[in-house]
Amino acid sequence: MHFGEHVTIDGYGGDPDLLDSEVAVRSSLEELCNVLKMHMIITPVVVEASDNGIKDPGGWSGFVMIAESHISIHTFPRRRFVSADVYTCQNGLNPEFISDFFKKKFQLEEVEMNFIKRGEKYPEHNLV
């Protein structure tokens, strides 16, 4: 048994207009929660992130807290790049489905995906 699962997505060659869309980021958070049968406990928060003058040329960052943990998305339209995390205490995520979801949503040419089992020593019972 393990506590949960974490899928990380790094997407390249995305559509700059979609990556620069507050609507696309917000709808991604909402749609993914729905299709994965997760339960939002806050309305998704999406903010414009400005150029930090280092390596982040600005874009959109979105986050939704779910009963099962969280989903976050960070876009970089000028780099045609998106970075996303889907972390849940549910077991049985389909990482390929999540990768394809982002690929379609932002019209990505290439996706790096990582799948991590979290809390592999998570106790089966309360300890105190």
**Known catalytic residue at 74:** yes
- Of the residues 74, 83, 99, 125, only one is catalytic, namely 74
**Known catalytic residue at 89:** yes
- Of the residues 28, 89, 99, 125, only one is catalytic, namely 89
Q: Which residues face 115 on adjacent strands? A: 7
Give, in order, the Cα–Cα distances in Å from 73 to each of 19, 24, 85. 10, 11, 7
Distance (Å, whole) CA 30 – CA 24: 10
**Known catalytic residue at 61:** no
Q: What are phi and psi of 56, to 5 degrees?
A: -100, 105
Distance (Å, whole) CA 29 – CA 41: 13
- Of the residues 21, 28, 69, 99, only one is catalytic, namely 69
Q: Where in the sequence numbering do the catalytic residues fall?
A: 69, 74, 89
